[in-house]
Amino acid sequence: MSSDNHPALPLSQQLEISCQICRSQFNLKLNTHIPLDGVCAIYGHSGSGKTSLLRTIAGLEHHSNCEIRFAGETWQDKYTFVPAHKRRIGYVFQEASLLEHLTVKQNLDYAIKRARKLNQFSYQQVTDLMKIEPLLAQLPSTLSGGEKQRIAIARALLSQPQLLLMDEPLASLDLTHKNEILHYLEKLKTEVDIPIIYISHSPDEVARLADHLLVLDKGRLVSDKPINQSFELLNTATRHINEQAVFLQAFVVSRLDKWQQIKVGLKSNQAGSSPAYLWLTDNGLQPGSELRLKILAKDVSISLTKALDSSIQNSLLTEIEKIEPLDDGMQLITLNASGHLIQARISNKAVFDLKLYAGIQVYAQIKAAALI
Partner 1 sequence: MLSLSPADYSAIVLTLKLAAVVTFILIILGTPIAYWLATSRSRLTSVVNALVALPLVLPPTVLGFYLLMAMGPTGPIGQLTQALNLNGLAFTFSGLVVGSVFYSLPFVVQPIKNAILAIGQRPLEVAATLGASPLDRFISIILPNAKPGFLSAAVLGFAHTVGEFGVILMIGGNIPDQTRVVSVQIYDHVESLEYTQAHQLSGLMLIFAFVVLLLVYQFNRKQSQVNHVF
In the complex with partner 1, the residue whose CB is nearer, 145 or 203, is: 145
In the complex with partner 1, the residue whose CB is nearer, 102 or 372, is: 102
From 155-163, 210-218, 293-301, 354-362, give the range in contact with partner 1 by CB under 8 A: 155-163
Measured between alpha carbons, how far is 358 from 361 in angstroms, rounded to an integer?
9
From 30-38, 83-91, 246-254, 354-362, give the range in contact with partner 1 by CB under 8 A: 83-91
Per-residue x/- track, 172-211, partner 1 (CB under 8 A): ----------------------------------------
Residue 83 found at the interface with partner 1 (CB under 8 A): yes
Residue 99 found at the interface with partner 1 (CB under 8 A): yes
Provide the 10 A C-beta neighbour count for residue 39.
23
User: Applying CB under 8 A, which of residues 20, 47, 110, 217 lies at the interface with partner 1?
Assistant: 110
In the complex with partner 1, the residue whose CB is nearer, 54 or 346, is: 54
From 54-62, 72-80, 254-262, 340-348, give the range in contact with partner 1 by CB under 8 A: 54-62
From 31-39, 87-95, 190-198, 359-367, give the range in contact with partner 1 by CB under 8 A: 87-95
CB of 200 to partner 1, least distance (A): 19
Determine contact, residues 207/247, Cβ cutoff 8 Å. Answer: yes
CB of 71 to partner 1, least distance (A): 18
Residue 115 found at the interface with partner 1 (CB under 8 A): yes
In the complex with partner 1, the residue whose CB is nearer, 151 or 266, is: 151
The one-letter amino acid code at 274 reads S
Residue 123 found at the interface with partner 1 (CB under 8 A): no
Residue 142 found at the interface with partner 1 (CB under 8 A): no
Residue 76 found at the interface with partner 1 (CB under 8 A): no
CB of 222 to partner 1, least distance (A): 28
Determine contact, residues 142/197, Cβ cutoff 8 Å. Answer: no
Residue 93 found at the interface with partner 1 (CB under 8 A): yes
Measured between alpha carbons, how far is 143 from 149 in angstroms, rounded to an integer?
10
The greatest distance separating any two alpha carbons of the chain, rounded to the nearest whole angstrom, comes to 72
Residue 90 found at the interface with partner 1 (CB under 8 A): yes
Measured between alpha carbons, how far is 308 from 306 in angstroms, rounded to an integer?
6
User: Applying CB under 8 A, which of residues 74, 97, 144, 162 lies at the interface with partner 1?
Assistant: 97
Q: Is 142 exposed, middle or buried (0-12, 13-18, 19+ CB in 10 A)?
A: exposed
Residue 101 found at the interface with partner 1 (CB under 8 A): yes
Provide the 10 A C-beta neighbour count for residue 208.
22
At 125, give phi and psi (nearest 5°).
-60, -45
Q: Is 114 exposed, middle or buried (0-12, 13-18, 19+ CB in 10 A)?
A: exposed
In the complex with partner 1, the residue whose CB is nearer, 90 or 203, is: 90
From 57-65, 256-264, 267-275, 294-302, give the range in contact with partner 1 by CB under 8 A: 57-65
**Cα angle, residue 41 at apex, residues 71 and 133 outer, rounded to 5°:** 90
From 14-22, 79-87, 131-139, 309-317, give the range in contact with partner 1 by CB under 8 A: 79-87
Measured between alpha carbons, how far is 140 from 163 in angstroms, rounded to an integer?
25
CB of 297 to partner 1, least distance (A): 39
Picking from 325, 321, 295, the residue whose alpha carbon sits closest to that of residue 231 is 295
CB of 51 to partner 1, least distance (A): 12
CB of 60 to partner 1, least distance (A): 5
Residue ranges in contact with partner 1 by CB under 8 A: 58-60, 83-86, 89-91, 93, 97-101, 110-111, 114-116, 155-156, 159, 165
